[in-house]
Amino acid sequence: MFSIYKKELQSFFYTPFAYVITALFMFLFTYMFNSALGDLERPILQFTFPDIFYNVIFFFIFLIPILTMRTFADERRFGTEVLLMTSPVSVIQIIIGKYLANLTVFLFMMAGSAFFPIFTHLHGTLIMNQLICAYIGFFAWGAMFIAIGMLISSFTENSIIAAVIGEIVMWIFMFIDDFSRTDFIMQFPKLQSVLYAFAAQPRFAYFSQGFIRLSDLVFFASAIIVCLSWNFIAIERRRWKRG
């Protein structure tokens, strides 16, 4: 598994890919931070980060599919999947290795944003518990969507298609709660409750407000396990078809 993890990290960090996507994330976070400063009426920095994270998450879903689109799609496109499947490494180790590599890049991106809380702490007031909860929620949210993006990437050999489909799926998860509150869906309470159960946005909202609920942690963890399991089934099925 470590060999797969190392190989994936090299593909990210030995090329401009990881640095470009991190730069895009930092640009996005800087823009949201400056916008928050522009809304202040006091000269002293006195605000929390929940609103910044909450706004970043709407735009950050454009970056996650870009991060995960090549995970399995390029392996199929360039014919290296056959070599990967015939290696002594098991399928589950391949999936976990690739997942951890994507997660490492995500953590690398998040680490860059630590500058802004430090800057705020030096020049104003920082509510630490809300900041920690916001980071935990943002990490859980990103970890779930990385698993979803990897699953979608395993279904196609075209990385662009994987990115587009991943984008659509992530938008659905983001706004399914709004859809569940439409007049039409509200006529069917059971359907509304089912749709709302899959909504990721309200769960992240609790984190961004400084609350950690066990049900939310279970939701994100369950989604990750389910997606990685489906990923295993999809790849194992192709492996058996190849004989």
In the numeric block, which tokens belong to residue 69? 């689109």
| Contacting residues for 122 by C-beta, under 8 A, at least 6 apart | none
Nearest to 56 by CA among 208, 213, 212: 208
| Contacting residues for 120 by C-beta, under 8 A, at least 6 apart | 45, 47, 49, 126
pLDDT for 39 equals 59
pLDDT for 44 equals 44
Low-confidence stretches of the chain (pLDDT < 50) are 43-46
Give the count of beta carbons closer than 10 Å to the beta carbon of residue 56: 20
pLDDT for 243 equals 56
Look up tokens 């590599």; give the residue: 101
Tens of pLDDT along 66-82? 889 888 887 777 767 66
Nearest to 142 by CA among 97, 116, 168, 104: 104
| CB neighbour burial string for 92-124, b if at least 16 within 10 angstroms, e if fewer | ebbbbbbbbbbbbbbebbbeebeebbeebeeee
User: How distant, in Å, are the alpha carbons of 129, 211, 218, 219 from that of 214?
Assistant: 16, 10, 6, 9
pLDDT for 118 equals 82
Nearest-angstrom CA–CA distance, 47 and 51: 9
pLDDT for 41 equals 54
For the chain, the residue count is 243
Nearest to 13 by CA among 104, 112, 143: 104
Nearest-angstrom CA–CA distance, 218 and 197: 12
pLDDT for 45 equals 45
Nearest-angstrom CA–CA distance, 79 and 225: 27
The 3-state secondary structure of 105-120 reads HHHHHHHHCCHHHHHH
pLDDT for 100 equals 95
